[in-house]
Amino acid sequence: MNLNEIKEQMQKTIESTQKSFNTIRTGRANAALLDRVMVDYYDTETPLKSLANISIPDSTTILIQPYDKTSIAQIEKAISMSDLGLTPNNDGSAIRLNIPPLTSDRRKELVKLAGKLAEEGKVAIRHIRRDAVDAVRKQEKKHEISEDESHDLQEQIQKVTNEFTAKIEELLAAKEKDITTV
């Protein structure tokens, strides 16, 4: 396992954590809130964004315009059944989601959720580090690399780990600021 592979894996973890953060609701409309919504469309679980045009006409409204008008009831049901806590308003041709302002208690809950998601990202990065260090130690035991090379590689792996952990902390700080800003 080389350093570039480790960085790639850690970057994927960062991207995954960012996607998770995007699904957390802030006080304003964001199409990414609907990324996890799956619609039962002709007995197939289909992502909402594949079935409709999603736009943000103003900071408190998400407008969903289905490509197939017959699917509007299924889309409405999927949004109602999701964990978003939003009530869809169906006007026959489009669905509007009004994003209510967050209460201070709800903001605190969302900050905790963001912290939990960040911790999951950091744990994933630490798992990548552990696997990489184990691989280096195995190479050392098999005498494929010297003890000094092993020590240097382990230090480099730790530096990369610290770098990516700091990136997750930056993402968390930005998300917390986003959530707490009224």
When pLDDT is averaged across residues 33-61 and rounded to a whole number, the result is 89
Arithmetic mean of pLDDT, 118-135: 95
The per-residue pLDDT for range 91-109, each reduced to its tens digit, is: 888 999 888 888 888 889 8
| Mean pLDDT over the full length of the chain | 90
Residue 61: strand, helix, or coil: strand
Q: Is the pLDDT of residue 182 over 70?
A: no
Query: What is the phi/psi pair of residue 148, to 5°?
Result: -65, -45
Are residues 118 and 176 in contact, defined by beta-carbon separation less than 8 angstroms? no
Q: How confident is the model at residue 176 (pLDDT cuts 50, 70, 90)?
A: very high
User: What is the CATH number assigned to the segment(s) 3-22+103-180?
Assistant: 1.10.132.20
Q: Which residue in 175, 170, 177 sits closest to 24, CA to CA?
A: 175
User: What dihedral angle (degrees, nearest 10) is formed by the CA atoms of 25, 27, 29, 33?
Assistant: 0
Where residue 1 falls among pLDDT bands split at 50, 70, 90?
A: low
Q: Which of 35-39, 99-103, 167-171 has the lowest mean pLDDT?
A: 99-103
The answer to whether residue 29 scores a pLDDT higher than 90 is no
What's residue 16's pLDDT? 93
- Domain extent listing, the chain: 3-22+103-180, 31-98
Give pTM, 2 decimals. Answer: 0.73
- Tokens (6 digits) for 53: 């045009």
Q: Report pLDDT for 111.
A: 92
pLDDT at 95: 92
Task: For residue 148, name the pLDDT band (cuts at 50, 70, 90).
Answer: very high
Instruction: Decide if pLDDT at 147 tops 80.
Output: yes
Architecture of domain 31-98: 2-Layer Sandwich (3.30)
